Amino acid sequence: MAERWADTPVFGQGLLSPTAKRFIGVCSICGCGFILALVALINRPSLASSPELAITSSLSILLALVLGLVGLWLWRQSISPQNVLRIAGWMVIGMASLGTLFLWTLTHQLAHGETMAQAHFVLANTLVAGGVLGIAIGLYDVRGKRYQRELEQERAKLADERAKLAFLNRMLRHYVLNGVNIITGHLTLLTGSVGPAGREHVDVIRDQSEDVADIVRKFRYLTQALLDETELQPRDLSADLSRRVTITAQSYEHAQIQADIPDGVTVLADELLDQVFENLLTNAIVHNDRDQPQVEVSVTDNTTDDTDDEFVLVEIADNGPGIPAEQYDSLLEWESKREEDESAGIGLAIVDTVVERYNGTVTFAENEPRGTLVSLELPGTAEAVVTTDTADPAAHTLETDVSQPTSETTTPGTASPTSESNTAEVSD
């Protein structure tokens, strides 16, 4: 209750104590209201002969009493003394404005030899109306300034939280990845000096270290998307997706990826688009229960049609176990990320956050005869200048050694078993 109203500077602030300000403001409002009610009540008998004037007099008395009661209400509320005085000032301005208008009208009539019947009664009604109008404006003004200050505080708080999140992200990447690099380096030295039994433990440590590095890397991309650190611009989706298909096929030799990607398809995105494709392609293979996972990738550029559709459709279908239809809507909800599968949860969080930032959509459906179909709708662009750099530096490393798939290719994995770990490490 004490923070319902914001303190706003008023004329004379600092010259009066808070108690004096509250007292002056409340007394001004109550005094004006009750005095005007008394004047209207005194003049009521002389107006009883006319039903219309009697009704007007009753309404004037009622409004004047409301004006006085508002003053008492302000006294009981947890409103700052400065704002009480500010509201009273608006009441005085309202009464002075309408009172001046009344006097100008009366002067004009007298100058033309006319008189105004019950002039004092009309003046009292005018002052009551001006006071009520001023109180309403004052309350609106004080509330508006309170909301403005709260909005500024929220913006400052959000900016501070964004800065802290970015700092923690940098610290996490620095210390964790440095530690992982040290562990990996020592494991490399130990590999040749341990027996077969020890090598099994070395492999477990190396795999877990690479998993930690991969999760930190994903958090990096997720933080970038949440903080909106990059600028959207026309981007060559065909080149990005073709490169990612090639890298994924090298990393998972047992999988078969078929890609139908026309050349020259552009969307409005940034370097995080590569992470969207990486996570979806990886999930389609890692969570597949077949000995040879099969993934089909297709791109449909609807921006070249004669329709009003300005989206590019990317579909990624697999032959895995599929996802129950009742889970489609909750897959991308943050609170529904499964604790037993942290990696997949982070990957889908990246997909959801990045695509939403692109003003695109992600949908899931059942694939025929089995598996899952993931559909991405991304805003297309007709811009001629596009960007093809990727956020994953590993893509640059492999780009010179691997031919990109053509518009319709079948890309089995052919890379060495270490290509996946190299990709994860170089990315950061």
DSSP string, 4-31: SS-----TTBTTB-HHHHHHHHHHHHHH
Q: Can you give the pLDDT of all 428 residues of the chain as single tens digits?
A: 444 444 444 444 557 788 888 888 888 889 888 888 888 888 776 666 677 777 877 888 888 888 888 888 888 887 888 888 888 899 999 999 998 998 888 888 888 887 777 777 788 888 988 999 999 999 898 888 888 888 898 888 888 877 777 777 778 777 788 888 888 888 888 877 777 777 778 888 887 887 787 777 767 766 766 676 677 889 999 999 999 999 999 889 899 999 999 998 999 988 889 889 988 999 899 989 988 999 999 999 887 655 556 889 999 999 998 888 777 766 766 554 444 444 445 677 778 888 988 999 999 999 988 899 999 999 987 543 445 554 443 333 333 233 333 334 444 443 333 333 333 333 33
- pLDDT at residue 382, as a whole number: 54
Tokens 């090598």 — which residue? 199
pTM of the model: 0.52
- pLDDT at residue 334, as a whole number: 55
The end-to-end CA distance of the chain, in Å, is 50
Q: What is the dihedral of CA 301, 292, 368, 283, to 10 degrees?
A: -60
Task: Report which secondary-structure segment, H or E, holds 364.
Answer: strand 361-366
Gap between the Cα atoms of 105 and 180, Å rounded: 86
- Domains of the chain in start order, with CATH, are 18-159 (no CATH), 230-416 (3.30.565.10)
With the C-alpha atoms ordered 289, 293, 294, 297, is the resulting torsion angle positive or negative?
positive
- pLDDT at residue 338, as a whole number: 46
Gap between the Cα atoms of 230 and 228, Å rounded: 6
Contacts of 131 (CB under 8 A, 6+ apart): 29, 32, 33, 36, 64, 67, 91, 94, 95
Task: Report which secondary-structure segment, H or E, holds 374.
Answer: strand 372-379
Q: How many C-beta atoms lie closer than 10 Å to residue 296's C-beta?
A: 19
- pLDDT at residue 229, as a whole number: 63
- pLDDT at residue 48, as a whole number: 62
Gap between the Cα atoms of 109 and 253, Å rounded: 99
Cα→Cα distances 165→172, 217, 223, Å? 10, 15, 8
For 375, the 3-state DSSP assignment is strand
Tokens 């019947």 — which residue? 117
With the C-alpha atoms ordered 339, 204, 427, 257, is the resulting torsion angle positive or negative?
negative
